[in-house]
């Protein structure tokens, strides 16, 4: 558990309650920034390098050039775990904005550097949901056309998630139109039909999730055929199995979408096989930070 809540702000370690964001931070004005969420299992980072790869890729795509040196940032995040004495499961949140400047839409001058913070919280694994499955709703995808960038602009995701919550569901599955399902409001979506695994291609319309990438690799290692292609709402609802993946939910079966039961209404065999393979990877990857 965390005995003392320590965070990082702009490269300095300080108590979490002292972290603050300026009213003139471009994250506040414009959502002009990026973020990452990283799982910790038993106090050890999971796939930290892959998350940092995506963080720096997102920074490059929005021309955010003043991030710390990658190795220095990694060392600071590892030190953050040590200072918090986290030995249980948890999550890291790290956020960068373009910096603090007067409210003008164009980029500020070179003198403005990125502002950032990072903190760690205990977070239990969703074991019960992974075993039993969950329900979801369909919501139209109204997001921008660069969903591959993990930006702070999440209002459409928030609205979709609220719609799911009002329906008593944990996730919203997004679709551009009836022939084009993209992903979840906070996860990637997979379907299984006749033992073939399908998921949306990793293009600008989805976030290429770290868990998504891992599941595809595990499926290939297990001999499960994988197709990265667009599928529609009817194909989703007629699937034998549906599951979603993310850093937080891991591999989570979806057994009901709206008023439609998926398959037999229980987690399917392919989903179970991938969950077991994922568990083996997580267990093997626990090394001391």
The pLDDT score that the predictor gives to residue 232 is 98
State the architecture of 6-122 in CATH terms: 2-Layer Sandwich (3.30)
- Distance (Å, whole) CA 114 – CA 4: 27
DSSP label at 149?
S
The pLDDT score that the predictor gives to residue 2 is 45
Tokens encoding 62? 């929005």
36 in Cβ contact with 150 (< 8 Å): yes
Relative to beta strand 250-257, strand 134-140 is parallel
The pLDDT score that the predictor gives to residue 111 is 87
Examine the pLDDT at 286 and tell me if it is beyond 80: no
Residue spans per domain, the chain: 6-122, 127-284
Residue that is written with structure tokens 């595990």 in the block: 218
Quick one: pLDDT band at residue 110, thresholds 50, 70, 90?
confident
Q: What is the mean pLDDT of residues 265-270?
A: 97
What is the pLDDT of the chain when averaged over all its residues? 96
* C-alpha to C-alpha distances, 8 to 26, 66, 185, 190, 210, nearest whole angstrom: 19, 17, 28, 36, 24
- Distance (Å, whole) CA 205 – CA 188: 11
Per the DSSP assignment, residues forming a β-bridge with 250 are 246
pTM, to two decimals = 0.95
Give the tens place of pLDDT for each residue, 208-259.
999 999 999 999 999 999 999 999 999 999 999 999 999 999 999 999 999 9
Examine the pLDDT at 288 and tell me if it is beyond 80: no
- Distance (Å, whole) CA 147 – CA 160: 15
The pLDDT score that the predictor gives to residue 219 is 98
Residue that is written with structure tokens 């702000």 in the block: 9
Q: Which of 71, 146, 142, 63 is nearest to 99 (CA)?
A: 63
Look at the alpha carbons of 219, 225, 231, 236 in this order and tell me if their dihedral is positive or negative.
negative
135 in Cβ contact with 170 (< 8 Å): yes
* C-alpha to C-alpha distances, 178 to 56, 140, 142, 189, 235, nearest whole angstrom: 34, 9, 14, 16, 10
The pLDDT score that the predictor gives to residue 109 is 87
The pLDDT score that the predictor gives to residue 1 is 43
Tokens encoding 289? 């930070």
Positions marked active-site: 150
Q: What is the mean pLDDT of residues 55-67?
A: 97
Q: Which of 140, 131, 263, 136 is nearest to 192 (CA)?
A: 263
Examine the pLDDT at 287 and tell me if it is beyond 80: no
Reply yes or no on domain 127-284 having CATH 3.20.10.10.
yes
Q: What is the mean pLDDT of residues 183-208?
A: 98
> How many other C-beta atoms lie within 10 A of the C-beta of residue 233?
17
218 in Cβ contact with 277 (< 8 Å): yes
DSSP label at 67?
P
């Amino acid at each position: 558990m965390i005995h003392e809540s320590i965070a990082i702000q702009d490269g300095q370690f300080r108590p979490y309650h002292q972290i603050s964001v300026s009213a003139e931070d471009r994250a506040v004005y414009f959502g002009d920034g990026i973020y990452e969420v990283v799982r910790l299992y038993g106090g050890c980072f999971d796939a930290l390098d892959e998350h940092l790869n995506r963080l720096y890729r997102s920074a490059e795509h929005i021309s955010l050039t003043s991030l710390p040196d990658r190795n220095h940032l990694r060392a600071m995040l590892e030190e953050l775990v040590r200072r918090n004495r986290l030995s249980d499961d948890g999550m890291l949140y790290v956020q960068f904005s373009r910096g603090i400047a007067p409210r003008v839409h164009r980029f500020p001058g070179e003198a403005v550097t990125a502002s950032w913070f990072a903190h760690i919280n205990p977070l239990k694994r969703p074991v019960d949901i992974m075993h039993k499955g969950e329900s979801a709703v369909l919501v139209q995808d109204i997001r921008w056309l660069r969903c591959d960038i993990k930006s702070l602009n999440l209002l459409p995701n928030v609205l979709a998630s609220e719609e799911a919550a009002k329906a008593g569901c944990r996730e919203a599955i997004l679709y551009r139109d009836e022939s084009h399902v993209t992903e979840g409001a906070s996860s990637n979506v997979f379907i299984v039909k006749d033992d073939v695994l399908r998921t949306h291609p990793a293009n600008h319309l989805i976030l290429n999730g770290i868990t998504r990438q891992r599941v595809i690799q595990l499926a290939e290692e297990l001999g499960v055929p994988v197709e990265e292609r667009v599928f529609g709402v009817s194909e989703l609802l007629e699937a034998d199995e549906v599951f979603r993946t993310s850093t937080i939910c891991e591999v989570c079966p979806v057994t009901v979408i709206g008023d439609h039961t998926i398959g037999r209404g229980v987690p399917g065999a392919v989903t179970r096989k991938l969950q077991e393979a994922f568990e083996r990877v997580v267990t093997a990857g626990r090394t001391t930070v």
